[in-house]
A and B are shown apart, each in its own frame.
Chain A
């Protein structure tokens, strides 16, 4: 079965991203296909490579990046939500005249249409948020 996963909260403050990660891993383990993980609202903050959690804590952003690499996940950060919250890739940084970008490996920035498309193409869309 095809699953789409939506993450609506940032890392650490809410459990949403952790829950989404556990769900995604288990769905893959059961042989389901994850067609997209879409990050919206403060969920876009999962996509910065600049987080430095304490060494004895989980590294949420790295966990997502590694899962994406291992299973070729399509992880999309909503561009409108990302721009509000300062999550930029190289192209966006250039376009907006910013001096740096911060998108983490495995994430890409794209439009809300990617969320709708996930809803259309997936058999199930599962949202994690607050």
Chain B
């Protein structure tokens, strides 16, 4: 249990829960900034994309006409930061008329498997996500 852990000792399970769409508000971008900084801390990191959060991962985002930087390419860099567990909730996709094919192709290189390229996105059901949530030590919700 984390209550018994020494400061800065063991590794905690960090979940960044993304429930907001990009661009309409800054939360999605600033959440990603937390994830990128947090990657340096060698914790056990997962991201969840739930509710409107799934809209953060759509492919083909083009922000040229709204004058805001397109930050979706930064998700492709997460693998290089050893952030490799992106849980996307199936029900949230379906409710919004999306499928996995509408999402960016996000991959990481698995150092334990001869650097084989593997998908970072893990499609999970709501029930599966509930189980993942229950395992977390720290949940940051955006």
Chain A residues within 8 Å of B, Cβ to Cβ = 1, 6, 40-41, 80-81, 111-113, 115-117, 119-121, 123, 125, 127
Q: List, in ascending order, chain A residues with CB within 8 A of B74's CB.
A: none
Q: How far is the CB of B84 from chain A (nearest CB, A)?
A: 18
Please give me the residue from chain B that is nearest to A113 by CB atom: B37
Q: List, in ascending order, chain A residues with CB within 8 A of B2's CB.
A: 123
Choice from B7, B26, B41 contacting A116 with Cβ under 8 Å: B41
Q: List, in ascending order, chain A residues with CB within 8 A of B140's CB.
A: 6, 119, 125, 127
Chain B residues 12-66 with CB under 8 Å of chain A are 12, 14, 26-27, 30, 33-34, 37-38, 40-41, 43
Q: For the complex, give the distance between the alpha carbons of A18 and B40 in Å.
A: 32
Judged by DSSP, the binding face of A is helix
Please give me the residue from chain B that is nearest to A1 by CB atom: B3
Q: Closest 9 CB pairs between A and B?
A: A112-B37, A119-B138, A116-B38, A116-B41, A121-B7, A125-B138, A123-B3, A112-B34, A41-B30
B97 at the A interface (CB under 8 A) = no
Please give me the residue from chain B that is nearest to A80 by CB atom: B33
- Of the A-B pairs whose beta carbons lie under 8 Å apart in the complex, a sample of 14, sorted by A's number, is A80-B30, A81-B30, A112-B33, A113-B37, A113-B41, A116-B14, A116-B41, A116-B43, A117-B8, A117-B41, A119-B14, A123-B2, A123-B3, A125-B139
B141 at the A interface (CB under 8 A) = yes
Please give me the residue from chain B that is nearest to A35 by CB atom: B7
Q: How far is the CB of A58 from chain B (nearest CB, A)?
A: 26
Choice from A40, A120, A125 contacting B43 with Cβ under 8 Å: A120
Q: List, in ascending order, chain A residues with CB within 8 A of B8's CB.
A: 117, 120-121
Please give me the residue from chain A that is nearest to B37 by CB atom: A112
Q: How far is the CB of A10 from chain B (nearest CB, A)?
A: 12
Q: For the complex, give the distance between the alpha carbons of A1 and B38 in Å.
A: 23
Q: For the complex, give the distance between the alpha carbons of A65 and B83 in Å.
A: 37
